[in-house]
Amino acid sequence: MLFFTQCFGAVLDLIHLRFQHYKAKRVFSAAGQLVCVVNPTHSLKYASNRCAAAQAPVEQGGLPPCHHHEAVHDPQLVPCTCPLFSCQWEGHLEVVVSHLRQTHRIDILQGAEIVFLATDMHLPAPTDWIIMHSCLGHQFLLVLRKQEKHEGHPQFFATMMLIGTPTQADNFTYRLELNRNQRRLKWEATPRSVLECVDSVISDGDCLVLNTSLAQLFSDNGSLAIGIAITTSKVHSAEAEI
């Protein structure tokens, strides 16, 4: 009976996932966009304070982390950019994509425009939905996070990070779009570099921010579809000159 119950539950989960993917393809296929169904990553061991901890002064009672000591720290190393994992990995920018795909099983989609379909929006905070987007010869990391900035009031934060340097990030513009029930909401900005902490980006509010009621307005049976488009900033400059 236990074996049957587990197998039946797995079949139901698979049917639910296929149904969500079918609905998304039905809605967005007319626009020729790729759809990726993204399952949530929920962690009770939240690691959002790791950036702040690395910057905390010694007088607060703790010793500085050893990997920030000038004698041993390599400034070219990048910490793991997967937000909800307490991952101590460090590496160069060239191997960040390999680490995310192999260690954290982050999916990657290719194309100028894709649809990010986040499932199970009802899960308690903190929860992340993460995907990589390969476009224009670069890789981008999209992070959608459900987090409580004030107790009892969760919000959704969506941001795009370039797996590259801040100078490279300035060459691109990303657009996030929600479109449902004759309502449309757009956010357009320059992506931030993964050399910056995603937690700091969310704390600063430099991203798409949705309260619970607004997220529910654009969601469909607990899933939120976000259209993603990335362009080069040079295109916008040329259009402005014209």
Q: Which of the pair, 111 or 162, is modelled with greater confidence? A: 162
Share of the chain above pLDDT 90, in %: 38
CA dist 76 to 3, 41, 101, 164, 165, Å?
49, 28, 21, 12, 11
Residue 220 pLDDT > 80: yes
pLDDT for the residue numbered 75: 60
**pLDDT tens track for 109-144:** 888 789 999 999 999 988 999 999 999 999 999 999
For residues 4 and 158, the model is more confident at 158
Report the pLDDT averaged over residues 176-204.
91
Residue 60's pLDDT is what? 38
pLDDT of the residue at 190: 96
User: What whole-number distance in Å separates Cα of residue 234 and Cα of residue 31?
Assistant: 25
In CATH, what class is 31-36+88-233?
mainly beta
Question: Between residues 52 and 147, which one has the greater pLDDT?
Answer: 147
DSSP 71-85: TT--TT-EE---TTS
pLDDT in tens, 61-107: 333 333 333 334 456 678 887 765 668 888 888 888 888 888 888 88
Q: pTM here?
A: 0.71
pLDDT at 59: 35
The whole-number pLDDT of residue 134 equals 92
For residue 135, give the nearest of 230, 225, 228 by alpha carbon.
230
Q: Which two tokens stand for residue 89?
A: 């990995």
